Amino acid sequence: MKIKTIAAVLANVFLISNAVTANEIQAPEVKVQEKNPCKEKTFWQTNFTNGQFNGFYSQMTNSVISNAQHLFANHYFEGSILNKDLARALDLYQRAHNRGNQDSTAKLGLVYRYGLSTIKDYQKAIEYYQSIAANYPEAQFNLGLMHRYGIGTASNQQQAFQYFKQAASNQVVAKNNCEVEVEGMAEAQFQLGQMFRYGLGVEKNLDQALLWFKEAANQDLKEAQFNAAQLMMTGIGEYYDYDGAIQYYQRAAEQGLAEAQLNLAREYHYNDHQKDYLKAHHWYTKAAKQDQVEAEFNLGLMEHYGHGVYPNYQKALQHYLKAAKTNQPEAFLNIAHIHFYGMGKATDYMEAYQYYQMASNYNLPQADYHLGLMNEKGLGTSVDLDTAKDYYQRSADRGNTDAKIALDNLPVKEPEDFEVAMND
């Protein structure tokens, strides 16, 4: 008999009534002292072996029934083995919750928080989470998030901190009718690090922030690895560790975190002690594929100046154009330079003039200097000495020495009524 057919039939058994117990299935219910409840087998492990359904337990305990209800609810919820049916899933989660199944309780909290199979109901979500918050890390963590961001309750950073601290610490929790020690949740450790870093709900403490970031980082949480690297890279005193920061950036970058890929590339690109243009180009490329604008721009620089690759102005231009789509000022400037100086292409003064104007809007002195030059010489626009003077002055005011020299050498425009004045 196929497992899907069996599952469909058995699912109905657990949907018949929330009062289903052992005596209704086979024999009168009796309390049995289980020798090792931690190793109690799942419904499928016990009743479905060698591809065959073996019948029910001789003793169907409350935990067996609730675990089976939770299992079938998962099948309905995910559409695995059973056809997806969110209404049935919700019903079975509720029945299992009523029997004390904490996994179902946590799932109901999730369902109502995000409206996964019903409308969002933050109050219900909080109630479900609070009912198991004493020893269920995921519930503690979600309550922390809801209090931190004011979801379904007033924002309370101190309360959020306490919930995160619970979930972040190793603790004894109930699993399969016994108590087991579980490691602190990496996500909660990360949140705790953030709260110490920025002084949310607790006094700012960078040492504690780094400690919790490292705890989460050692569980391979990429966001924690990135934040630990930031503190270690920029910190002073005991927690400054450049080599350690590079390692954390590397681990986060390998997990696909775009910000880590960008920062790692920067170090390989610009840091004299770590310089490796090939590695920089590799990680910029990875970050650029995740829409990191600075990575696109820096790839343009590397192609432009031949850092780690042969100079290729066309490739540089393509990277600059991508960065320019998000109004990156330096990208406007370098695009203008390529058109103005004819790098890898024919000069195009009109195109250069447009991009210099875009860069000038961000007060870049080089852009203003070139606009002054183009107005003075009539490149891409008509000769206009007054406009040239204005642009040179803007550039000179920001310290551009070429603009100061150009101002001194700018031809003096004669007044329009000069001849009339002489004739008089």
> Amino acid identity of 390?
D
CB atoms within 10 A of CB 285: 15
Helix ranges restricted to H, 364-400: 365-377, 385-397
Per-residue confidence at 415, pLDDT binned at 50, 70, 90? low
The predicted model gives 236-254 an average pLDDT of 90
Q: How far is CA 338 from CA 13, 333, 352, in A?
A: 74, 9, 8
Per-residue confidence at 317, pLDDT binned at 50, 70, 90? very high
Residue 257 lies in a domain: no
CB burial of residue 83 (10 Å; 0-12, 13-18, 19+): exposed
Residue 80 lies in a domain: yes
Least confident of 49-58, 90-99, 372-381: 49-58
% residues pLDDT > 90 (the chain): 71
My answer on whether 19 and 145 are in the same domain is no
How far apart (Å, rounded) are the C-alpha atoms in residues 148 and 169?
Answer: 18
Domain boundary among 131, 146, 165: 131
Lookup: tokens for 272: 């004299």
- pLDDT at 157 (0 to 100): 98
Please count the structural domains in the chain.
Answer: 3
The predicted model gives 360-370 an average pLDDT of 98
> Amino acid identity of 364?
L
Whose tokens are 């690090």? That residue is: 193
Specify the CATH number for the domain of residue 74. Answer: 1.25.40
Residue scoring higher pLDDT (206 or 237): 206
Q: pLDDT tens, 79-108?
A: 988 899 999 999 999 999 999 999 999 999
How far apart (Å, rounded) are the C-alpha atoms in residues 230 and 310?
Answer: 32
CB atoms within 10 A of CB 313: 18
- pLDDT at 258 (0 to 100): 98
Residue scoring higher pLDDT (45 or 63): 63
- pLDDT at 52 (0 to 100): 53
Q: Check whether 11 has a pLDDT greater than 90.
A: no
Per-residue confidence at 53, pLDDT binned at 50, 70, 90? low
My answer on whether 143 and 118 are in the same domain is no
Per-residue confidence at 34, pLDDT binned at 50, 70, 90? very low
My answer on whether 70 and 187 are in the same domain is no
Helix ranges restricted to H, 289-346: 293-305, 313-324, 329-341
How far apart (Å, rounded) are the C-alpha atoms in residues 196 and 211?
Answer: 10
Torsion of CA 21, 24, 29, 32, to 10 degrees: -60
What is the average pLDDT score of the chain? 87
My answer on whether 95 and 207 are in the same domain is no
Q: Check whether 175 has a pLDDT greater than 70.
A: no
The predicted model gives 47-62 an average pLDDT of 60
Specify the CATH number for the domain of residue 150. Answer: 1.25.40.10
- pLDDT at 239 (0 to 100): 77
Q: What angle do CA 345, 349, 350 make, to 5 degrees?
A: 115
CB burial of residue 35 (10 Å; 0-12, 13-18, 19+): exposed
Where is 282: in which H helix or E strand? helix 277-288
Q: Phi/psi zone of residue 393: left (φ > 0), alpha (ψ -120 to 50 degrees), beta?
A: alpha
The DSSP bridge pattern shows strands 171-175 and 178-182 to be antiparallel
Q: Domain span at residue 57? A: 1-131
My answer on whether 142 and 49 are in the same domain is no
Q: Check whether 171 has a pLDDT greater than 90.
A: no
Residue 173 lies in a domain: yes
- pLDDT at 181 (0 to 100): 73
Q: Check whether 237 has a pLDDT greater than 70.
A: no
Tell me the CB-side half-sphere exposure of residue 188, using CA atoms within 13 A. 24
Cα 107 vs. chain centroid, distance in angstroms? Answer: 24
- pLDDT at 22 (0 to 100): 35
- pLDDT at 312 (0 to 100): 97
Residue scoring higher pLDDT (19 or 322): 322
The predicted model gives 18-29 an average pLDDT of 37
Per-residue confidence at 38, pLDDT binned at 50, 70, 90? low
Residue 75: name the closest of 118, 30, 14 by CA. Answer: 14
pTM over 0.85: no
My answer on whether 127 and 146 are in the same domain is no
Residue 375 lies in a domain: yes
Per-residue confidence at 19, pLDDT binned at 50, 70, 90? very low
Q: pLDDT tens, 128-166?
A: 999 999 989 999 999 999 999 999 999 999 999 999 999
Residue 40: name the closest of 12, 24, 21, 62 by CA. Answer: 62
How far apart (Å, rounded) are the C-alpha atoms in residues 108 and 21?
Answer: 22
Cβ atoms of 227 and 181 closer than 8 Å? no
My answer on whether 95 and 145 are in the same domain is no
Residue 292 lies in a domain: no
Q: What angle do CA 255, 256, 260 make, to 5 degrees?
A: 95
Domain boundary among 188, 219, 250: 219
Helix ranges restricted to H, 61-185: 62-78, 86-98, 102-114, 122-131, 137-148, 157-168
